[in-house]
Structure 1
Amino acid sequence: VYFYYCIKMWRNTLKLCYNLSKNTLNIIKPLESTPKQVCNATQLIAAHSISTTPRLYMFIQTQETPNPNSLKFLPGVQVLESGQTIDFPNGQAAYGSPLGKMLFRIEGVKSVFLGP
């Protein structure tokens, strides 16, 4: 069974697709966020998805924070139990978390905190 996580960051024009079963990562980073480039990125992801294998997609928005060195990821779905938090100070700490590992593959990510 293949599971894909896809992250779209419209503000940063980054789309990330992670295949859990093959442990592979595809990053598509258009130079500008024009509809044409977003469409091309979507078509590329769709081309990878042409099969009968079920896939799980997660679209994550981003939000700026008061800290200019920090970015808040908003998955739109519950990723933790209510009241639970997880801190990954580095990529090795996120070993058991597919979402945490994937976020560390984004250029510039130094730590990840998952919470409410």
Structure 2
Amino acid sequence: MQRQVCSVINILKRTFSLQARTISGRLLTLPNKHASLLSRSQVRPSALRSVRTMLARTMFIQAEPTPNQDSLKFIPGVPVMKDGGTAEFLSGNSASISPLAKKLFQIDGVRGVFFGPDFITISKDPDAPWQLMKPDIYANIMDFFASGQPIVTEAQPPSDTEIKDDDPEVVQMIKELLDTRVRPAIQDDGGDIEYRGFDNGIVKLKLKGACRSCDSSVVTLRNGIENMLMHYIPEVTCVEQILDEEEAISQFEFEKLEKKLG
């Protein structure tokens, strides 16, 4: 009886030792006398599935509020855009290059997905309740990062604030300030800013993510960005927000609805 108990204990020790080595990501090995039972090709896929399942179950996703009550910043604790860039999708049709964005747009109420270096900002319809959307958002983010898929399937364009050899000195200064002083602060709020040009003293910018439809976006442009650029660069006279066609149509429809309700 004692020998049987010892035998069971030894088996359990080997089993738990094997699981620990698999989960820690080390090379999965078996004692020589069991080598014939499992080939290397049979073990490796199951080990990877085990690790991915563990990551999905243990991932802690933090949700942070933004200045926009209809946008939340989700922080998965792992890199999102690994090259440090950003990507924004305003509809399911535009999300064809991102498996995660396509999944998120299938959740009722989602109207915008923004990927930052280490966060994901979800924007919703004003009448959609966060308490009903959050469980699906968490589940989709966890499942995606456990799958090992790329966040986007196509290469993203170079940074809008990348300084080019033919940029005038004033444009170089604008890009430098936007990249080092403005962008970090706006990304903290779950958004980003995109440089669109400089003409006759006017800096043209596009707000993205949580800042795109935020009520304080005009204040951000005028009191924050514009004042700072004018302070350091005398050639700058004002800052102008640029809307893409899809955004302009959405804003027009929203203003039309406001007038009807008012």
The structure with the largest alpha-carbon Rg is 2
Normalising by structure 2, report the TM-score: 0.22
Q: Which is strand-richer, 1 or 2?
A: 1
